[in-house]
Amino acid sequence: MGIPSRPPARRKEARGDFPVATCGRKTHEGEARPEHAQIRRALLNWFRANARTLPWRGTGDPYAVWVSEIMLQQTQVATVVPFYQRFMQAYPSVKSLAQSPLERVLELWSGLGYYRRARHLHEAARVIWREHGGDFPQNYAGIRALPGIGDYTAKAVLSIAFNQPHAVLDGNVARVVARLGCLRGNLHQPRFRESVEASLAQLLSRRQAGNFNQAMMELGQTICKPRRPHCSICPLAKWCAGHRSGNPEAYPLPRPRRAAQLHHLAVGLLRYGKKVAMVRGLGDGLLDDLWNFPSAFGRSSAGALENLREKLAALFGNHPDISARHGVSLQPAPLAEFQHNITFRAIRGRIYQVTPSPFTLYKGVHWFELSRLPQAAISQLARKIVQKISRL
Ligand code: SF4
């Protein structure tokens, strides 16, 4: 691991895709250094004294570790905790999850986002139940063969639940490693990623791999934050070249941001008494597992409205209650407007009243009581619309 033991004389940083320059000195990837043992000890002692109490910690149950790791992908710990607790109460074992209908799993996941994770979790539980007799696989190949489990999750489960010597690299850990050694680059650059992985592998505690990985993640989340890291209370400050450089925030390089794209969305509100019409998916292949208000995207608000008319016509085409253009009666003045972001999409939405509402169970259309929608498997966007229309 390339963690300099002396303060850098002069900062010389590589740019572009050569990230292994370290505050004035090049590292030798995989180089074992005497301070590694001290860093490991300091890190593990700090973790023992400061680890947050989290519901998935200390169970040693690979199922619990797996669920938590999947939920924590792209999601903050504080957001995950209540979802995790509800989920584990409903599904305390692989068997209970495998035997549940997907719809119920999605309902419990609703609000956590990235719903493909829930579908994969459910699929993988079925595979574990069917092909492994309910026992979580204990080797890398077996875990990687499960739906939705990549390199990171497989190593996290193997190290945390079974204490196998795998180093786990996520964004928080990469930040700590990059700052310790002044490694410059971002994780999307293969050479930078390789150098961080090599450094981390040297640092890994092979005897306490699970605790080591959790300690590194915890340090990145609570002390070595992206902005204003708390170096004054960091257990690794003594060995940290980034800290000594005076500008630890310079490491690693920020991830290049994808520019937000503006999308217009027209949403049809079809009401019948206390019920509203919902369909699966939002359009453009988005949120396909979840219930949404019938909607259509367009390059402009007028284009989205036109596309919505066509979508409704396809859904309710020949219904005698619908008579206007394309067979759909749609009030052209929007009832309300909203904004919502889904990853890089900046969505500008308008909600339109569709009248009269046909109360007919057309294929793919489901009528929900508006007051019960928040408990259904609906998207965050649909949740936002429910709040809007409840105030109308
Ligand atoms: S000393 Fe500062 S920059 Fe270095 S690992 Fe600790 S918090 Fe991060």
Atom of ligand 1 nearest to the CA of 234: 6
**Domain formed by 261-390, architecture:** Alpha-Beta Complex (3.90)
Average pLDDT of the chain, as a whole number: 86
Please give the Cα distance from 239 to 232 (Å, whole number). 13
Distance of CA 54 from the midpoint of ligand 1 (Å): 23
Q: Nearest residue CA, atom 2 of ligand 1?
A: 231
Q: Which of 166, 180, 268 is nearest to 223 (CA)?
A: 180
Least confident range from 89-93, 300-304, 317-321: namely: 317-321
Name the residue with tokens 């900062």: 11
What is the best residue among 38, 227, 234 to mutate for testing ligand 1's pocket, by most ligand atoms within 8 Å of CB? 234
Atom of ligand 1 nearest to the CA of 237: 1
Q: Which of 14, 17, 20, 8 is nearest to 199 (CA)?
A: 20
The CA-atom distances, in angstroms, between 289 and each of 246, 260, 372 are 48, 24, 18
Which residue out of 13, 69, 107, 218 is catalytically annotated?
A: 69
Please give the Cα distance from 317 to 310 (Å, whole number). 9
Cis check for the bond before 55: say yes or no (omega within 30 of 0).
no
pLDDT, tens digit, 9 for 90 and up, residues 142-154: 999 999 999 999 9
Cis check for the bond before 356: say yes or no (omega within 30 of 0).
yes
Beta strands in 125-245 (DSSP E): none
Please give the Cα distance from 248 to 16 (Å, whole number). 19
Distance of CA 302 to the CA centre of its chain: 33
For the chain, the structural domain boundaries read 21-250, 261-390
Q: Higher confidence at residue 28 or residue 146?
A: 146
The pLDDT, as a whole number, for residue 95 is 97
What is the best residue among 225, 236, 247 to mutate for testing ligand 1's pocket, by most ligand atoms within 8 Å of CB? 236
Q: Which H or E run contains 334?
A: none
Least confident range from 277-291, 294-308, 345-359: namely: 345-359
Q: Residue 256: which residues within 8 A CB-CB, separation 6 or more?
A: 186, 188
pLDDT, tens digit, 9 for 90 and up, residues 105-122: 999 998 888 888 999 999
Distance of CA 106 from the midpoint of ligand 1 (Å): 39
**Pocket of ligand 1, beta carbon within 6 A:** 176, 179-180, 223-224, 229-231, 234, 236-237, 240, 242-243, 248
Contact 347, 340 (CB under 8 A): yes
pLDDT, tens digit, 9 for 90 and up, residues 236-274: 999 999 999 999 999 999 888 888 899 999 999 988 888
Q: Residue 4 pLDDT > 80, yes or no? A: no
Please give the Cα distance from 342 to 286 (Å, whole number). 9
pLDDT, tens digit, 9 for 90 and up, residues 184-211: 998 888 999 999 999 999 999 999 999 9
Atom of ligand 1 nearest to the CA of 240: 4
Contact 192, 177 (CB under 8 A): no
Least confident range from 45-54, 151-160, 326-335: namely: 326-335
| CATH number of the 21-250 domain | 1.10.340.30
Name the residue type at position 159: S
Coil, helix or strand at residue 221: helix
The CA-atom distances, in angstroms, between 23 and each of 13, 184, 229, 381 are 7, 9, 18, 45
Q: Which H or E run contains 297?
A: strand 295-298
Please give the Cα distance from 223 to 95 (Å, whole number). 38
What φ, ψ does residue 353 adopt, rounded to 5°?
A: -80, 130
Q: Nearest residue CA, atom 8 of ligand 1?
A: 224
| 194 catalytically annotated | no
Sign of torsion, CA 305 309 315 320?
positive
